[in-house]
Structure 1
């Protein structure tokens, strides 16, 4: 049942994404063609770590929200130095915390050690990942422990 619920959630995400999709089929492609491409992408993503996918989606959503709130033309403008630094600090903190998670060790085991390419992830779907887990991953790095220590 849990897998069916996750797939139903995936399908709902696909339906929403299909409305915005600009796929390899092209922006003028039919909704059916866009949905087909999105299903292929989803199938490819299902073999990757659900937590990492959820974290990546949250990171992209945060970046998109920052662009939208910056005003028109912000996506063409170079980021201010403090914005770049803040983003680098965020990504550094995410990387440090991600490698400390059990899923990282499991991925290394499955790909590099056993070479079976069949990891057993902590979550079965990115829909199972709790927002609090992702928020913890994206939380600010404590003073003195960041990428720009003492600078």
Structure 2
């Protein structure tokens, strides 16, 4: 079981391939706030809802100074299909080795339909301009999570 991150921790650095196979690094976003969210699998109902919610609110988040990166264990080819099928604008990166998932504490034991399984723990991290974890949210719900996050970050339409 990997350690869970806490606010104030330095966000683990990463470089992962996006849907086009282009490397994306957390370091590329230094000086900007980044929402890094981890989800179990592209093209599944909950993950699709969450990715669409982030895409729908991308302009609002960008206007408030946030960039969004979604991380899953999927390979770039699957991420590309996901992006095309759902018209996603959020940056999606793949972590098939699960090293970044593990570094963020987003891979390990979880409950699924009453059974304990090992897998991706749906999690969201808000990383500040200096690479520090501002918020570490584990076991988030796919539906309604983005709306709650916007409220918690005081990012509101017309604000």
Same fold? TM cut 0.5: no
Larger Rg: 1
Q: Which structure has more strand as a fraction of its residues?
A: 2
Indicate the structure whose relative CO is greater, using CA pairs within 8 Å and at least 6 residues apart. Answer: 2
